[in-house]
Structure 1
Amino acid sequence: MTFILFIEQLLNGLQFGVMLFLMAAGLTLVFGVMGLINLAHGSLYMVGAFAAAAVAGWSGSFLLGLAAALAAAAAAGALVEMLVIRRLYDRDHLDQVLATFALILIFSEGTRYIFGSFPLFLDIPDALSGPVILPGGIAYPAYRLAIIVTGLVIAAGLFLLIARTRLGVRIRAGEADREMIAALGVDISRLYTIVFALGAALAGLAGALVGAIQSVQVGMGEPVLILAFVVIVIGGIGSIKGALIGSVLVGLTDTMGKLLLPALFGLFMDNSSAQATGSAIASMLIYILMALVLIWRPQGLFGARA
């Protein structure tokens, strides 16, 4: 394994982690503020990807596709919150799981009805289609580098939103004591709708960005949703910092594990067995990481202690 390959995979892990952060940030906001288990968050990721692919294909503009992804996912999230989720806040978690699982089925079949069962493809914009030469002569895809930069900028914006704005104060207060801020005159229903739409928009943006790397298809959000839940368990529920650190840890662990473990096992067994064994263990690494973090800090790395 060469040094250049190692750095390229390190950047791939960072890009994967940043994409997970866009999913996990919205999920941890919703869970932290509302106490809601939202299994349909992956469907909003899918909505963003399909909206971006459809609009970009119609207009020829990738930026219009991204705008459509943000708008469609945010609108879908706000609509779902007002029509369905709002009735679940005072229900137990089993009711929330069942209702949001039903939303997964509705979104999947609705998307299949509108766009069909065949995958769509979103082209990388011409300006980002080539490689960027990094220090050391490393050629890395410009689009993947743009995803990393975009995710880090959004992370900084979220930190500022939560820490420095009036909306952020209300979000943090709603997480701490929703009854008190409602008694102080804050429209808690409107706040919940804004938070849910913000989380949905982030998920839709993640789907749109990844849609240019892989095909856009029905059900694409569920595997990412599982990883997003792993991220917020590792990082701590309700913590944006935890979502970012947890996402980067999961992305690097998954990507570097798939690179290094087959090579490590190749020192002790033949190539075919090493590849199979290393790949199998690499696929479990993120869950092993989650288990270790929970043993050390049951509330997650940056979660509040009970």
Structure 2
Amino acid sequence: MDAIFIFEQLLNGLGFGLMLFLLAAGLTLVFGIMDTMNLAHGSLYMAGAYIAAKVHEASGSFIGAVAIAVLATILVAALLEVLVFRRIYRRDHLAQVLATFGIIFIADDVVKMIWGPSPILAPTPAALAGPVQLFDGLPYPAYRLMLLGVGFVVALGLYLLVSHTRIGMLVRAGASNRVMAEHMGVRVGRVFSFVFALGAGLAALAGALMGPISAVQIGMGEQILIPALVVIVIGGIGSVRGAFVAALLVGMVDTAGRAFLPLLLRAILPPSLAADLGPALAGISMYVLMALVLALKPAGLFPARG
């Protein structure tokens, strides 16, 4: 295990964390402002991945495919918000979980009906298919460097939107105290519609960007939803800053666990035992991190209502 391998894995963890942030940011705002649990958020991520992969394959334009995927997913989310979510805003969390869980099954069947049950291959843009020589001995994929750049730019843009604009002030007011915001004249319903569309766009962007380096398949939204929920719990529900910090922590811990734990265990345990124990411990590393954070700060690192 040398310094170059460690640095490469840290970059991988940073990229994974930034993509998790894109998915978790909208989810934490939806839950924080309207107290609505949307388990179907991962299905929007899946929609973005499928649409971007198919449009890119047909047109050859990666940027155009990502843009179309984001816009199409926002339109789907707007339709869901009108037909479903406005009917469950005032319901309890159990009803919200059941309703949105049902949407997951419907979304999976719709994808299967349109694109078939088999995974599809999302092509990597030709201009980003090769490596970039960061320094001597470390060629790093250009596409992953692009993910880092896009992730940081979107995170900065979201921070400026939430912290330095009027709509951001209304979002923060609704997240901190919805009842008081409504009494002060804030139309929280309209604010939520905007946040819901924004969250859908971010989820679709994450799916479109992750497609070329992960499997685009039915159920991918449920797989990424669990780490996203871990992120919003660690960061504090309703907090964009908390989601950013927590996403980077989860990305680093998860990637480091999968890369380093098996190697470290092989040095002190029999190879067969290390081969079984390493992946298992790596898989629960993010949950251990969540338990430690909640033991010290039960409301998360940066609770919006703190």
TM-score w.r.t. the length of structure 1 is 0.96
Structure 1 partner of 2:31? 31
Whether the aligned pair in 1 keeps the contact of 2:32 and 2:304 (CA below 8 Å) is no
Higher mean displacement: 51-60 or 41-50: 51-60
Change in CA separation of 1:185 and 1:301 when aligned onto 2, cut-off 3 Å: closer
Structure 2 partner of 1:204? 204
User: Which structure 2 residues correspond to residues 49-60 of structure 1 after superposition, within 5 A?
Assistant: 49-60=49-60
Deviations along 1:176-208, whole A, 9 cap, x unmatched? 333444444443322211110100110011111
Whether the aligned pair in 1 keeps the contact of 2:176 and 2:305 (CA below 8 Å) is no
Structure 1 partner of 2:214? 214
Report the Cα distance in structure 1 between the residues aligned to 2:181 and 2:296, rounded to whole angstroms. Answer: 34
Q: Percent identity, aligned pairs only?
A: 54
Whether the aligned pair in 2 keeps the contact of 1:44 and 1:73 (CA below 8 Å) is yes
Report the Cα distance in structure 2 between the residues aligned to 1:188 and 1:231, rounded to whole angstroms. Answer: 25
Structure 1 partner of 2:110? 110
Structure 1 partner of 2:297? 297
Task: Classify the secondary structure of the residue corresponding to 1:134.
Answer: strand
Give 1:258 shift: 1.6
Task: Classify the secondary structure of the residue corresponding to 1:288.
Answer: helix
User: Which structure 2 residues correspond to residues 1-306 of structure 1 after superposition, within 5 A?
Assistant: 1-304=1-304
Deviations along 1:90-130, whole A, 9 cap, x unmatched? 11100000000011111111111111112222211111111
Report the Cα distance in structure 2 between the residues aligned to 1:65 and 1:285, rounded to whole angstroms. Answer: 35
Whether the aligned pair in 1 keeps the contact of 2:176 and 2:304 (CA below 8 Å) is no
Report the Cα distance in structure 2 between the residues aligned to 1:215 and 1:253, rounded to whole angstroms. Answer: 21
Report the Cα distance in structure 2 between the residues aligned to 1:268 and 1:106, rounded to whole angstroms. Answer: 48
Change in CA separation of 1:149 and 1:275 when aligned onto 2, cut-off 3 Å: same
Task: Classify the secondary structure of the residue corresponding to 1:132.
Answer: strand
Q: Unpaired segments of 5 or more residues in structure 1?
A: none
Aligned residues: 306
Whether the aligned pair in 1 keeps the contact of 2:33 and 2:238 (CA below 8 Å) is yes
Deviations along 1:205-247, whole A, 9 cap, x unmatched? 1111111112311111101000000001111111111111111
Report the Cα distance in structure 2 between the residues aligned to 1:245 and 1:125, rounded to whole angstroms. Answer: 29
Task: Classify the secondary structure of the residue corresponding to 2:268.
Answer: coil
Whether the aligned pair in 2 keeps the contact of 1:78 and 1:194 (CA below 8 Å) is no
Report the Cα distance in structure 2 between the residues aligned to 1:280 and 1:45, rounded to whole angstroms. Answer: 26
Change in CA separation of 1:266 and 1:171 when aligned onto 2, cut-off 3 Å: same
Aligned partner letter, 1:240: V
Deviations along 1:248-268, whole A, 9 cap, x unmatched? 111111111122212222222
Report the Cα distance in structure 2 between the residues aligned to 1:71 and 1:114, rounded to whole angstroms. Answer: 19
Aligned partner letter, 1:232: I
Aligned partner letter, 2:75: A
Task: Classify the secondary structure of the residue corresponding to 1:123.
Answer: coil
Aligned partner letter, 1:124: T
Q: Unpaired segments of 5 or more residues in structure 2?
A: none
Report the Cα distance in structure 1 between the residues aligned to 2:34 and 2:117, rounded to whole angstroms. Answer: 34
Report the Cα distance in structure 2 between the residues aligned to 1:266 and 1:25, rounded to whole angstroms. Answer: 37
RMSD, aligned α-carbons = 1.4
